[in-house]
Amino acid sequence: MIHSSSLIATDIESYLAAHEKKELLRFITCGSVDDGKSTLIGRMLYESHMLFDDHLAALEADSKKVGTQEGEIDFALLVDGLAAEREQGITIDVAYRFFSTDKRKYIVADTPGHEEYTRNMATGASTADVAIILVDASQGVLTQTRRHSFIVSMVGVKKIVLAINKLDLVEYSEEVYSSIVSDYTQFADEALNIDEITAIPISALKGDNIVGISKNTPWYTGPSVMEYLELVEVSSVSQSRQFRLPVQWVNRPNREFRGFAGLIGSGHISPGERIRVLPSGKESVVEKIVTYDGDLQIAGAGRSVTLTLEDEIDISRGDVITKAENPCSIADQFQTRILWMDDSGMMPGREYLFKSNTQSTNMTLGKLKHRIDVNTLEKLPAKILEMNEIGVCNVSLSSKVAFDSYDDDPVMGGFIIVDKISNNTVGMGLIDFALRRADNIHWQAMDVTKESRSLQKSQNPKLIWFTGLSGSGKSSIANILEKKLQSSGKHTITLDGDNVRHGLNRDLGFTKEDRVENIRRVGETSKLMLEAGLICIASFISPFTSERQMVRNLLEEGEFIEVFVDTPLEICEQRDVKGLYAKARAGELPNFTGISSPYESPESPEVRIDTTTMTAEEAADLIIDYINNS
């Protein structure tokens, strides 16, 4: 007998508490649009006739409105309700359904099949034990079927139910069923890292092979969907892995108590065991395992706990507690598999935010090694990943993090990629391994420092960063500014956009990706100039907010001075001494900023120059006044 409830990623803890002693199975339903995901879940609930009161009352009220008998739940109405909830879940994340049988409790991630919501499907798959991949029998295996299957395999799901749905539309044909099974298993053998695939012919609308075996498929002798879910072994791998506790916060309500709280990601721990904290490497011994319900003698994966230690050692949010004899690794450069989930393509060289468990740091994406075609499984050359594309890419972090490879431990090997400007999650990644150069390259400390070089020159190093459209007057103002600074005894150097492209960046074009890499290189070069104690003047269109912010982040507080040369596009076109705007208007110059490529104006520059109201000489004096008074 099935008992059910439905809500969208809320009240999970209270539901699980009511069924604490039952074994939990997490599964996901996925596939292409209209393959029947909501109908399948609705049929599971409908066949039980045992909905929880909150859902039952709402459905009975709606049943009366459409003329069904009192107390009778209309199947179509139930499915419509589930679909509506899932569509609501699209704007949140995933619609989670909860139900239980006498044997088990279940959490099903009900995800949309639309290609633009692949990110939601990936989120739901990341915690699933089993994936139910639905295929429309009248359509066969589609691109989205392959994409969802690839992602399921990518995030570590090892068991798949291939539910070939709508079999009633093909007259319950065994031949159609067998053909689809053959197509899918051939794809799976070549592309997926899956332990078990169980194919089941179903009609979610008619109820065939959902709860019991259907007479319409006498040629099928396997389990129904619910029979499979009742009998499949739930993986206990997370309990057998090495102990990992990402620290969420430090709990210190008074001087006598100091604990480190978090959700145990894998393994188990007991009082008296020696632990190591990463990335610091400091060690101590567990004194107590504290929970709301009292102290524990052992705690395992999935349990929220607070550990107290015998020693006072420095631990903060983002650290990872492991057992001393089995620590995870630490590194700041990795090979990763990435699923890109944003409308804007992935930008190699751009700085994003890396988040894994409670760890967070800046991340730069390296060049893409290849992308994977989910239809042909080819490794294709590519410079970027577009939305829903999967590829292999090296990444570099600004600080070391604790990790295990994803294949060894999904908890410690998975991460998300966050855009630093919009704060949107734009991708998810899986760590394959640390790059060897992460261990071979070390920062070499020098006796002569930036401070001593600056003192020698009697000046504070600054980066004066000019940004604005082509023809705005950046180079002219920068040239006058350097002459004025040098005449006052300052030590300077100017990096100009055109000049740099004759040497350092001569291999780069003007695509979005190349513009990002152009500014990344200039930013690193500018940082070296400041290390020399110089005042560096950089004059670049630098159209993207993200890259200007990236350069700012490279420097110390107060060293970056953004000068926005705010000249209207029509004025820049009138000047057009190089004839570039005319060529761009004629279609002869693709990716030209202001015409066919965007320019993102600074919102809060340190200095804003209006060249329609002041001369280049006046603009240079305004910048010097800012430097002297800052």
Give the catalytic positions in this structure.
542
Closest CA to 356 of 239, 244, 238: 244
Sign of the CA dihedral with 562 first, then 567, 569, and 571 last:
negative
DSSP 384: S
- What is the residue whose two structure tokens read 């603009």? 619
Both tokens of residue 321?
Answer: 């507690």
DSSP, residue by residue, 511-562:
SHHHHHHHHHHHHHHHHHHHHTT-EEEEE-----HHHHHHHHHHS-TT-EEE
211 vs 168: CA distance, rounded Å? 17
Amino acid occupying residue 39: T
DSSP assignment string, 398-445: EEEEEE--TTT-HHHHEEEEE-TTT--EEEEEEEEEE-THHHH-----
DSSP 8-state symbol, 169 = G
| Helices 143-154 + 174-191 axis angle, to 10 | 50
Alpha-carbon torsion 40, 43, 45, 48, what sign?
negative
For residue 112, report the phi and psi dihedrals to the nearest 5 degrees. Answer: -70, 150
Structure tokens at 252: 């210190």
Tally of helices (H runs) and strands (E runs) in the chain = 19, 28
Distance CA 516, CA 629 (A): 32
Residue type, position 593, single letter: T
Closest alpha carbon to 211 in 78, 44, 46? 44
Sign of the alpha-carbon dihedral angle for 211, 215, 216, 220? positive
Phi (first) and psi of residue 441, to 5 degrees: -105, 125
Structure tokens at 261: 């709280």
Residue pair 516/501 in contact (Cβ under 8 Å)? The answer is no
Question: Is residue 27 within 8 Å of 129, Cβ to Cβ?
Answer: yes
Q: In terms of C-beta density within 10 A (0-12 exposed, 13-18 middle, 19 or more buried), how is residue 1 classed? A: exposed
| 94: helix, strand or coil | coil
Q: At what angle do helices 474-487 and 616-629 cross, to 10 degrees?
A: 60
Cβ neighbours of residue 346 closer than 8 Å, sequence gap 6 or more? 338, 340, 365, 368, 384, 385, 386, 391, 393, 426, 427
Cβ atoms of 60 and 51 closer than 8 Å: no
Rounded CA-CA distance 606/602 in Å is 10
